Structure 1
Amino acid sequence: MVIFLSGCVEKRIVDEINIAIASGFDPSDGDKKFKTTFLMQDFQEDMSVQNRTITSEGDVRREILIGSNRQSPSPVVVGGMRLTLFEKSIAKKGIKDYIDTYQRDATIGTRIFFATTEGKTEELLKGNYGPQGNGSFISDLIEHNIRQGDVPKTNLASFLQDYYQKGKDVYLPHIKKINDKNVDISGLMLFKGSKALYILPSDKMFYFKLLVDRYSKGEFTVSLEDGSEASVHSIISKHRLKMDKKDPLHLSIEINIKGNIKEYTGNKLNPKIIEAITKNLEEKVEKECIQLVKEFQEKEIDPVGIGAYYKTQIRGFDYEKWKQTYTDLSVDIKSDVEIIETGATY
């Protein structure tokens, strides 16, 4: 017996649609809730990429798409989206409604990156940053800095996991347009609930990532008392939270770091200097990380996920009571640095 099955699937030819690779949300210029810019990348015959944007205002996403399609000779689709940007003032009002829309849209992949911006997203998306197109350039920039830089892992999947988890606050890369050819990850936007609270500057991002994520290919420069410097590369890190069972209001955060010394500006690298570099890095990590934790407690945010950790340790955990306890929690940082290889001396 042979059974024939047939079905109807909407066919879309790539050349007959506009695939939005990035989008940005800005405050409306009129009486609408927000303004959205879609970025398309048109591939030319010489393999170059032409950036093209469409901007529309509305109160809901469907209204935005309708408005954008009025400006487009072919349908605008969002299934290929790699990046979404939120202008800083939009993020401070709250991004809950925007995130909810994304998680409900099955056409959008969970690996899409989110970021906040200094200045209008519309202007940032209109730059000309690289031959691969603006959307691909910025998303590649974020991905590269997650893998080998100081940006903690963040995409739609990880963001949603943290956002809906009690006892953990979210964060996003913060991007600034330098000029029409350059953009910069200038820090991390830290959130309280769904609302952006403040920007963690870029010089604190190394320590922040040690607290919330792990390094696989990080690097850091250590300054010694004699004025010499050592560049520690190929940093691998991990951290562990440990509650004191005898005193639950005391928490230790253990940070383990392994790395290679690739450059040293002094005369000669010897075991004594390696020990000094190790000690210097340990002290710096402990000092900076405890300052960050205290800062988070003062601002009543928990990007480290201490509350989520305590929930796994205490039976009958009461989150409402925890919010009052969190600011008084005693925390200490213990850092252990191991130099596993030394390289050139300059």
Structure 2
Amino acid sequence: MIKETFISISCLILLLSGCVETETIEDIQIIESIGYDSADDKKYELTLATVMFSPSEGGIIKSETISDANFTGYGAAWNAQRETPKPTAAGKMMVALFGKDLAENGVDEILDGLKRHTTIGRRVDFCVIEGEAKELLEGEYPLGQTVSRYLKDLLEHHKKGNLPSTNFHEFMYKYYSKGQDPFMPLIQKQEDKIKLKGLALFKDDQYVDSIPADKLLIFKMLYEDINIGTYQASLENPDGYAAIEAVESSVDYKIKNGNTRPEIYISVNIKANINEVVSSIKLENASDEKNLENSLEKDLTENGLQMIKHFQEEGIDPLGIGDRVRSKTRGWKSTKWQELYTHASVDLNVKVDILETGISE
């Protein structure tokens, strides 16, 4: 990213939102999503997904994308808007997308521009896409929805399950925090569908790692309390698999020696229903149920510790362990914590309580 991007993004938003108050809804194109991709010759490509409304005709009459690549956001927006029959307004944005290549190079200047403008709501969702934002925004999707509404609904649906809470406001809070690193949903376009691939993990402003979708419940149980979520666990003694639905989960952190030799004790309590078991376990009595609980606890604990260890090795802290230590440690300093974090001792205890095992013959 070039240095001028900071100025260009500020100019871009001013350009997009200027004089909107004097226009009626049928006289403007409303920007629902914005996408950023890397382009050749140190340019970057800006793509806007817009809609036009006609209240007299009962709703949307047209949706379209406009895009342009240029050295500055102002130039890209100016050229793109030469194709539009009406002025654009940025007050109804739902999603901001970052192409993978651009996210890996850093998004600091773009974020700095976005956060300065009150026309951009703090509940806008951020996403990294495996591929290009432009290709996704230009796609056609089922259910008669605009791409922005389809994507927004997809994200809201998964936030009620395995996807941890995240949006513009929460990303920026973590970004500026000294004791945690931010993250965004990671998505992928597959023909006429958009699929949640996992979680994109950032170090400062750069996308550096990811968590696959099948491990999201592990991350979420370590990060925050859960109301509902699903997971497929590997079983031992006997071998097999179990599909579970977590209906309630709470997590608690206890900290010792935060400024010297940190010891992190994490307790997770999960109440779950069993949806399916592929194993010789028959769940015919209390002993079978207890054995299954033990196997689930072993799987969740091992995967949780493996995930935390990986974060420590990579020097990233998406769980906000540093922020949790800071809140419970007098005289905590971020520079010292960076030295201590990778060697901090972590103990995880997962307790599973099976509520329902379903009906079997």
Q: Same fold (TM over 0.5)?
A: yes
Alpha carbons 2:283, 2:357 under 8 Å: kept: no
Query: What's the offset of the Cα at 1:263?
Result: 3.9
Alpha-carbon separation, structure 2, partners of 1:226 and 1:261 = 17
1:174–1:49 Cα change, 3 Å:
farther
Alpha-carbon separation, structure 2, partners of 1:207 and 1:11 = 49
**Matching residue's letter, 1:333:** L
**SS of the residue 2:22 aligns to:** coil
Query: What's the offset of the Cα at 1:11?
Result: 2.2
Q: 2:349 aligns with which of 323, 334, 344?
A: 334
Alpha carbons 2:49, 2:137 under 8 Å: kept: yes
Alpha carbons 2:20, 2:89 under 8 Å: kept: no
Q: Give TM-score scaled by structure 1 length.
A: 0.89
Aligned CA-pair RMSD: 2.4
Alpha-carbon separation, structure 2, partners of 1:292 and 1:222 = 15
Q: 1:3: which partner in 2?
A: none
Q: 1:250: which partner in 2?
A: 263
Q: 2:21 aligns with which of 10, 33, 36?
A: 10
Which range moves more in the overlay, 120-129 or 54-63? 54-63
Q: 1:281: which partner in 2?
A: 296
1:73–1:328 Cα change, 3 Å:
same
**SS of the residue 1:98 aligns to:** helix
User: Mind listing any 5+ residue stretches in structure 1 that lack a counterpart?
Assistant: 1-7
Alpha-carbon separation, structure 2, partners of 1:270 and 1:236 = 24
Q: Please list the CA deviations of residues 225-264 of structure 1 after superposition, one character each: whole Å capped at 9, or x if unmatched.
A: 4466443224322212111359852111111111222444
- Give the alignment of 1:186-205 within 5 angstroms: 186-205=197-216
Q: 2:170 aligns with which of 158, 161, 167?
A: 158
1:283–1:268 Cα change, 3 Å:
closer
Q: 1:93 aligns with which of 99, 105, 124?
A: 105
Q: Please list the CA deviations of residues 207-238 of structure 1 after superposition, one character each: whole Å capped at 9, or x if unmatched.
A: 11112223211122344444664432243222
Which range moves more in the overlay, 88-97 or 209-218? 209-218
**Matching residue's letter, 2:244:** V
Which range moves more in the overlay, 201-210 or 133-142? 201-210
Which range moves more in the overlay, 166-175 or 61-70? 61-70
**Matching residue's letter, 1:143:** E
- Give the alignment of 1:21-36 within 5 angstroms: 21-32=32-43, 34-36=44-46
1:222–1:270 Cα change, 3 Å:
farther
**Matching residue's letter, 1:13:** T
Query: What's the offset of the Cα at 1:85?
Result: 0.6
Alpha carbons 1:68, 1:76 under 8 Å: kept: no
Alpha-carbon separation, structure 2, partners of 1:58 and 1:236 = 49
Which range moves more in the overlay, 224-233 or 309-318? 224-233
Alpha-carbon separation, structure 1, partners of 2:228 and 2:326 = 31
Q: 1:134: which partner in 2?
A: 147
Q: Give TM-score scaled by structure 2 length.
A: 0.86
Alpha carbons 2:25, 2:53 under 8 Å: kept: no
**SS of the residue 1:65 aligns to:** helix
Q: 1:5: which partner in 2?
A: none
The number of aligned residues is: 336
**Matching residue's letter, 1:163:** Y
1:48–1:342 Cα change, 3 Å:
farther
**Matching residue's letter, 1:111:** R
Alpha carbons 1:264, 1:345 under 8 Å: kept: no
Q: Please list the CA deviations of residues 155-189 of structure 1 after superposition, one character each: whole Å capped at 9, or x if unmatched.
A: 0111111111111001111111111x112111211
Q: 1:38: which partner in 2?
A: 48
Alpha-carbon separation, structure 2, partners of 1:47 and 1:276 = 56
Q: 1:62: which partner in 2?
A: 74
Matched, 1:19 2:30: yes
Alpha-carbon separation, structure 1, partners of 2:112 and 2:171 = 12
Alpha-carbon separation, structure 1, partners of 2:67 and 2:51 = 15
Q: 2:10: which partner in 1?
A: none
Q: 2:84: which partner in 1?
A: 72
Query: What's the offset of the Cα at 1:63?
Result: 3.4
Alpha carbons 2:28, 2:52 under 8 Å: kept: no
Q: Please list the CA deviations of residues 105-136 of structure 1 after superposition, one character each: whole Å capped at 9, or x if unmatched.
A: 10111111001011111111122222221111
Which range moves more in the overlay, 37-46 or 119-128? 37-46
Alpha-carbon separation, structure 1, partners of 2:51 and 2:289 = 49
**SS of the residue 1:10 aligns to:** helix
Q: 2:305 aligns with which of 277, 283, 290?
A: 290
Q: Please list the CA deviations of residues 266-301 of structure 1 after superposition, one character each: whole Å capped at 9, or x if unmatched.
A: 655432222122111111111011111111111111
